[in-house]
Amino acid sequence: MGKKIPHGISITICNHKGGSGKTTTACNLAAGLARLDFKTLLIDVDPQSNATITFLDRTLIDIHLGHAFLGFQSQNGQFMRHPFANAIYETAVPNLDLAASNLSLSKLNRIIDSSDIIELYYAVKDARLEYDFIIIDTPPNLGPLLDMALLASNYYIIPIEAAFYPLEGVSDLDETIGKIRRIHKENIQLLGALVTRFDQRTKICGQAYSTVVETFKDAAFETVIRNNTKLVTAPALNQSIYDHAPTSYGAEDYTQFVKETLARLKIAVDGRNLMLVNS
């Protein structure tokens, strides 16, 4: 399968509020792009490894990002690191590969050396030559793993749970983005804020959606991800929502979200860059 986009696009999915739908969004955005024939790499930098175990059998993962970023002691006692590429696995979804996480990555949160933070930036730079899209799932906290992901990204998407105080902590994320732009001179851009786990029967969800639209204006995705239990059961069967329950609300909403993401990037489904075509 040939590459469709000349320079792969990297997108971090982030919100340090736990349970906001980051992993569900990262997995189904990545699988949705892969289904459209875009060669896609999903990178899991969350030590919880939820994206990893959504698509891979944990027992088959011998090399992971902990080996690439933290290194390890070899059998003859030497300290070694695996190249990033060794932590990449094919998934059962055609066109979708995954860079596997491991609990050991949480140790990276205690390492403040900026040379480690830049590792993913270089890895993604190389991956851009091979993949159309690189989607990065991040942990629910601020720290080096999030910095690492943002530094390696062209864009970021903030999934926001339709709940009380939906924007709690989002200003801290703004500070982190500001720091990355200032220190590393990388112009990472907000691709949008996505309301998730929306239940149209409750007033709270409606209020949360209005708050997100008032705050983010045009950056709020028009697509809203409704509550759907199929999105909860799909990972347990190592499946994306499109394979697990293709006619569910979850599949419908994430299909719409993938389309809106491509439209925001001005990329047609066949990979043509509309911006270039129109200019």
Ligand X SMILES: Nc1ncnc2c1ncn2[C@@H]1O[C@H](COP(=O)(O)OP(=O)(O)OP(=O)(O)O)[C@@H](O)[C@H]1O
User: In the bound complex, what is the minimum distance in angstroms from residue 139's beta carbon to ligand X?
Assistant: 6
Q: Which residues, other chains included, contact 62 with Cβ-Cβ below 8 Å and sequence gap of 6+?
A: none
Residue with Cβ nearer Mg ion (40 or 50): 50
Q: Which residue is nearest to Mg ion (CB)?
A: 23
**What is the distance between the alpha carbons of residues 200 and 148, in angstroms, rounded to a whole number?**
36
Torsion of the alpha carbons at 196, 201, 207 and 211, rounded to the nearest 10: 20
Judged by beta carbon distances under 5 to 8 A according to partner kind, the member of Mg ion, ligand X, none in contact with residue 234 is none
Answer yes or no: are the C-beta atoms of 95 and 37 closer than 8 Å: yes
Q: Which of residues 50-69 bind Mg ion (CB under 5 A)?
A: 50
User: In the bound complex, what is the minimum distance in angstroms from residue 73's beta carbon to ligand X?
Assistant: 29
> From residue 227, how far is each of 196, 208, 232, 236 by CA, in Å?
7, 14, 10, 17
User: In the bound complex, what is the minimum distance in angstroms from residue 244's beta carbon to ligand X?
Assistant: 12
Judged by beta carbon distances under 5 to 8 A according to partner kind, the member of ligand X, Mg ion, none in contact with residue 232 is ligand X
User: In the bound complex, what is the minimum distance in angstroms from residue 220's beta carbon to ligand X?
Assistant: 17
Residue with Cβ nearer ligand X (132 or 137): 137
Residue with Cβ nearer ligand X (212 or 225): 225
Q: Which residues, other chains included, contact 167 with Cβ-Cβ below 8 Å and sequence gap of 6+?
A: 160, 211, 212, 215
Interior angle at CA 209, CA 142 and CA 239, nearest 5: 65
Stretch touching Mg ion by CB under 5 A, among 19-27, 92-100, 170-178, 189-197? 19-27
Asked if 20 touches Mg ion (CB under 5 A), the answer is no
User: In the bound complex, what is the minimum distance in angstroms from residue 225's beta carbon to ligand X?
Assistant: 5
Among 4, 16, 17, 22, binds Mg ion (CB under 5 A): 22
Single out the residue of 139, 154, 180, 131 nearest to residue 26, CA to CA. 139
Judged by beta carbon distances under 5 to 8 A according to partner kind, the member of Mg ion, ligand X, none in contact with residue 255 is none
Residue with Cβ nearer Mg ion (50 or 153): 50
User: In the bound complex, what is the minimum distance in angstroms from residue 53's beta carbon to ligand X?
Assistant: 11
Three-state DSSP class for 13? strand
Torsion of the alpha carbons at 45, 106, 184 and 149, rounded to the nearest 10: 10
List of residues contacting ligand X (CB under 6 A): 18-24, 46, 48, 50, 140, 196-197, 225, 227-228, 231-232
